[in-house]
Chain A
Amino acid sequence: MAKEAISAQERRERALMVLTPLVSVLLALVVGAVIIACLGKDPIEGYRAMLQGSLGDLSKLSKTLERACPLVFTGLCAVFAYKCGVFNLGGEGQLIMGACATAATILGLGGEGVPALALGLLAGIVAGALWALLPGILKITRGLNEMITTIMLNYVALYFMEHIFKNVFSDQGLPKTVALPAGVRLPKLLGAHVGVIIAVVLGLVVWYVIFRTSFGFKIRAVGMNPVASRVNGFPVRRLVLLAFIISGAIAGLGGAVELMGKTPFRLAAGFGAGFGFDGVAIALIAQLNPIAALLVALLFGILSTGGIMMQSVIGVPTAIVDIIRGMIIIFTVAGMASIKLPQLRALIASWGSKSTEAEASA
């Protein structure tokens, strides 16, 4: 009897956890519509243009998928780290370093075909992991706040990339690298590069690792309560370091995929800009669920590519989609916090027990 009551409550809480982000998305879209209306434009026409511009036909859909692809990687990077209690804000730097390493191996060593492709991806993974290893070591040895160190390393990575595309592999002195040769670009499938498939598979793998393996269980345990995990004999420091490395590797792979998959196949100013914080937003909206992160990344892709069409049709700056994104995350955070408030919990519980009583009497 008591057990049933708990499970009913749990079910309700789970439903609320799914409902909150959905309601947040709707609310954010409403706020966006209000802003558009305040500018004297038609929000319904705007959102129609957004959908048409992002999902209207196959070429637009593939563009949306390619736009969402790197966000899946940075989103999963954030999810994996946060599950272990590591607030990795360095997804952008890790992605950039991954792309730099890919560019350096492919442009530096030459080579074509599958081996070069594989080597490029591997270089991205290794560089991303190494770039996350540094804040990881600083955290477990000196107890440094990883939020600050990873952000600082983002800027270092940004300037390093500038060095790469201006001085090392510059295309005839222009501030961009030489484009990757056709032989090492990711093949296309239905208009989108196969990196999209890699991203989806990676999302499923990360979900499996976190929720269905003993390693994932340990990672989650450390994230929830590091002291209890240590008492339980888990190697907490090693797990934290591994969380850094794996999340960095995911972001680094994202950088490699972005460089090898997406036109113009080269590094230049603005490469990867904003992907890190978008990834953080995705992880938080998705409630640290890798599969939900895939969907949220897709939503972000729709907003981004659709926003351009919206701008050209109704003349509202594309930054409106950034506001919508920001509102989604604010509403999600506020919503998740408020359903955990004691007062509201009591309310939900009493409302729930009434409904179960009603069920029982019926």
Chain B
Amino acid sequence: MDFLTVLPTILKAMAMGAVPILLASLGELFSERAGLVNIGLEGLMAIGAFVGFAVAKMSGNLWLGLAAAMAAGVIVNMLYAFCTVTLCSDQVVTGMAINILAPAVALFGYNLFVGSDPANATGAQMPSIAIPGLSELPFVGGALFNQTLLAYLAFLLVPLVSYFFRHFRAGLSFRSVGENPHAAETLGIDVVRMKYVACVICGALAAAGGAFLTLCYTPIYIDGIVMGRGFIALATLIFGRWSAVGVLGASLLFGFFDGLNVALQAQFQAAPVMFFKMIPYLFTIVALVFFGSRRAGPRASGQPYFREQR
């Protein structure tokens, strides 16, 4: 296999594979910074994928589809927020409940949507936009600088989020809520409101990641389309060390192995392709083995917050 000839394939698939993970992972970053471990990303992505697909198809406007997907993600994640923040339920259990409920709602909606008119099965796709100049670079240009606008926006989010958490008052408040909510409360930060805000952002971003799958990746929705990406996003956050830049690097690394899988499949068509498809999942485990220390996370993450408790 000549590396240089397959490099564009890998890079193209890397950028495509990284975006949904990146979006979901950035959403989870907000959530965990505010002390909420949300393992319901998989479900949020599923609902985002379906709503984005259906609304874009119905209205013919891809951005309306994206907006609707994000709104749906927020609505579903409000269920999570209500249970975990207001009722102080177990975050892992609640996230798991979201993972079971949200794909079911998406599947039900899909059955109604496509059942009413089989022509609905194939949706619309975002066009790629080549950046003049950069996209003409040899080998890497066509692969990296010829993306959909949503992908560019996702990558643009990284410096914004990073700056937000470091230099904005609100960003620092977020971090204090995740580290020590009681101390944050004494400083006049409304912890409960902060957590709800985090859930709104997390729901919107994770659903946008899901919508990317149906608006930019493949033009169809199928049950189980998320394929564990929600959980990979959780892993990405861990080996991205809870920072936006780290998450970007980890997402790209994951995307690279996804791209390697695609390139190997194209290269060795006679070989059992299933083993190539295992690569991203095995890589996630291996990466966690080396960079999986849980200690770097926000200290109060995962714990319920009782305001009256001392």
Contacts and interface: CB of A to CB of B under 8 A. Distances in A.
Interface of A: 39, 87, 89, 138, 142-145, 147-149, 151-156, 159-160, 162-163, 166-167, 273, 277, 280-281, 284, 317-320, 322-323, 325-327, 329-330, 333-334, 336-338, 340-342
B163 interface: no
A318 B111 CA distance: 9
B90 A155 contact: no
A167 B272 contact: yes
A323 B101 contact: yes
A87 B92 contact: yes
Given A148-B231, A155-B278, A323-B105, A341 B88 contact: yes
Contacts, number: 141
A166 B110 CA distance: 29
Quick one: which of A142, A143, A159 has the most chain B CB within 10 A?
Answer: A159
Interface string B221-234: 00010011001101
Contacts of B238: 145, 148
Tell me what chain B mostly uses at the interface: helix, strand, loop, or mixed.
Answer: helix
Contacts of A281: 96-97, 100
B100 A159 contact: no
A281 B104 CA distance: 13
Contact of A325 (B104, B231, B293): B104
Quick one: which of A138, A144, A280 has the most chain B CB within 10 A?
Answer: A144
Given A147-B92, A167-B272, A323 B292 contact: no
A157 to B, nearest CB: 9
Interface of B: 39, 79, 82-83, 87-90, 92-94, 96-105, 107-108, 110-112, 115, 224, 227-228, 231-232, 234-235, 238, 272, 274-275, 277-278, 281-282, 284-285, 288-289, 292-294, 306, 308
Nearest 3 A-B pairs (CB), nearest first? A326-B101, A337-B89, A322-B104
A319 B294 contact: no
Given A284-B96, A330-B83, A159 B278 contact: yes
A342 B87 contact: no
Contacts of A153: 281, 285
B274 A155 contact: no
Contacts of A340: 88
Contact of B104 (A162, A273, A326): A326
A330 B79 contact: yes
Given A317-B111, A333-B97, A159 B89 contact: no
B284 A148 contact: yes
Contacts of A159: 274-275, 277-278
A329 B101 contact: yes
B101 A156 contact: no
A351 B108 CA distance: 42
Contact of A160 (B111, B274, B292, B308): B274
Given A148-B235, A342-B308, A334 B285 contact: no
